[in-house]
A = this chain, B = another copy of it.
Amino acid sequence: MITIDITGRTPIYEQICKSVCGEIARGVYKENDRIPAARALAKELGLNPNTVAKAYSILERDGIIYSVAGKGCFVAKHEGKADKRLTEDFERKTKEALSAGVPKQTLIDIVESAAAEAEKGGNEQ
């Protein structure tokens, strides 16, 4: 399930990109699988079709999906790009925290406790 947060600084199209990459990384969509039509997804999420179209065009530009006119969008042979996209924000924030002087161990502790909480919270997926 894709959930969109209209509050906050992350643009909606970016959230869509992340969600699709997440589903690709988790194997929901495999290479050459068709992903949901932009218009259908827009309707489902109550978004402007242009917003979803923008997300898809970014994913295409990044080599994660490819589009076939009149057919739809499909997962490309992306060689891990989808996975990398999921962690690039995390990596940037890691570097920022480290350069601000936060000790490595503090960060690892945060990861551990977040993971423990996530495990406890829900066993879906």
Contacts and interface: CB of A to CB of B under 8 A. Distances in A.
Contact of A94 (B7, B18, B90, B98): B90
A101 B83 CA distance: 10
Given A6-B68, A21-B100, A93-B93, 17 more contacts: A7-B68, A9-B9, A18-B96, A26-B101, A58-B61, A83-B102, A87-B97, A89-B93, A90-B90, A90-B102, A90-B107, A94-B111, A95-B114, A98-B115, A101-B125, A104-B115, A108-B108
A94 B114 contact: yes
A25 B21 CA distance: 36
Contact of A107 (B7, B87, B104): B87
A91 interface: yes
A87 B9 CA distance: 17
Interface of A: 6-7, 9, 18-19, 21-22, 25-26, 58, 61, 66-68, 71, 83, 86-87, 89-91, 93-102, 104, 106-108, 110-112, 114-115, 118, 125
